[in-house]
Structure 1
Amino acid sequence: MVRVQVPATIANFGPGFDCIGAAVRLYNYIEVEFFSLPKVHVTGEGSNVLPLNEKNLVYRAARTVLEKLNVRKNLYIKLENHIPLARGLGSSAACIAGGMMAANRLLGDPLSREEIIRLATEMEGHPDNVVAAINGGFTLSMLSERGVIYKKLLLPEDLRFVIAVPDFELKTEDARRVIPKRVKLRDAVFNISRVALLVAGIAQGDFSHMDVLSKDMLHQPYRSSLIPGMREILKNAPEKGMLACFLSGAGPSIAGLVYENKAEEAGRFMVEAFRRKNISARYLVLELCREGLSFIE
């Protein structure tokens, strides 16, 4: 039996659409072992809606590894889920990365980390969440003709992510549907310049102007129509102590980067902004997960 701990992830950071991610200390736990028939047991988030058979995403991810290695065996998978579903916190990436890494360990780790990342990216459709989930930290990633290329940075230990999680789901495919297929040149330049300076600032430990550098023109203006209260939160975030504020992944959760002593104030502000739109929400204050997915002995 193999047990893994896999973190939630925050993707995009505003302008870094499909290429920036960060792992945070909120985890799902996955146990995998061979069994006589396919079986899945779920507790926690999604326990009343997730499939308990081969259709389960963790099972499908694990089976992808088995099939690649020509192993024809059934699995018993136990899931203890703490990452909310369809809230922009990388729940699907956690399922895919966790299922694949656990299956690979069950077989003696025949596939390299890079091979698992490639398979996980193929299943997820983009690398930002799975790279962060597996490696931890603040990650930059891209899919190229050479496979997935990625880099990892760390954030200062006194920084926190405050995440407002509204009480409604937004599936990634629905959030992608509102984004135009073609972008204006000025919007592309807007994002490229901000991504470059945002990453440079994080690499140097310089967090000045992060409120400007986390702005976006490729996805957030379009997705804001699906998330009441989002525009108000992004507009007023700096005066509430947030260094940066942006949609977490495809949403509907909104994330702020703050120093620890400002986290509670920022969280209360975001929850209140949602309340004014008649949407209940809660907030989480989370540290960066530096190590990423780990195996529990």
Structure 2
Amino acid sequence: MDINAYISSGILQEYALGHISDQERSEVECMSKIYPEIREALTTSEIDLESFAAAYAVKSPSKSRENILVAVKRQAQDSTIHSVTKDDNASETKEILIQSEVTERKSAWGGWAAAAAVIAIAIAVWQYTDNQASKDELQALKVEQNTLENKTAELETRVAQLSDGLNEVYSSSVKKVTLKSVKENNTTQLALLWNTETGEVKLNTSALPKLPSDKQYQLWVLKDGKPKDMGVLSKTEEGILIASNATKDGDTFAITIEPLGGKASPSLDQLVVMGAIS
């Protein structure tokens, strides 16, 4: 099974979101129990989703409803209430009553109109503020999405590298050789992987001491005591290094110190490490 392809399919993210069928859910849970890489990727997806939801939970503007109700109440209290004054003249009293009623109605309508205007303005301000906040949050979400996508891509690359490394280490065609120091009281050791099918040789050079500018390490493979040049080791690279030459036959690997550029045959007095192929 291609574990990397399964992780890259997006089914683990869909599982974390709850967007898969019962059959797919059972499959994911089963695969995560069998393959540690899938379980780790699934856990990472769930943690990223929880962090994402917690960081961008949308909240409504604080006390917006209370502010609108206070404004309406205050406007209603400011409405003018007119009283009617009695007069000895009946016609004047009637006229005053009619005018007062008209004034009260106008005042009432004016008060309610003003209150409605206050509400409309308050709602408009709230909507504008909410829209601005939504735009800012949307932009932040886009940035977070890009970050998560980059992180996912990095994790996928790392999983692929680990998968390739594990396949190589446990492949029956790959021999593991430990090169040990030939000098007393020297514990220097190097790990070497030899692919007997392709002839490719990889080794970790980080444990080798630095050399003068006119010297260079050279790798050899021996068969029945006869050495074969596997190439000089880079002076600038420390870590996992692929030998410049390949071999499909040999019983021992060794490293010597040679002049810059290497030699056609090894300097036995400059032997540093060696290891037999089991």
Q: Tell whether the structures are fold-level matches, with TM greater than 0.5.
A: no
The TM-score bracket by the shorter chain reads: under 0.3
Answer with 1 or 2: which has the greater Rg.
2
TM-score (norm 2): 0.23
TM-score (norm 1): 0.22
Higher relative contact order (CA 8 A, sep 6+): 1
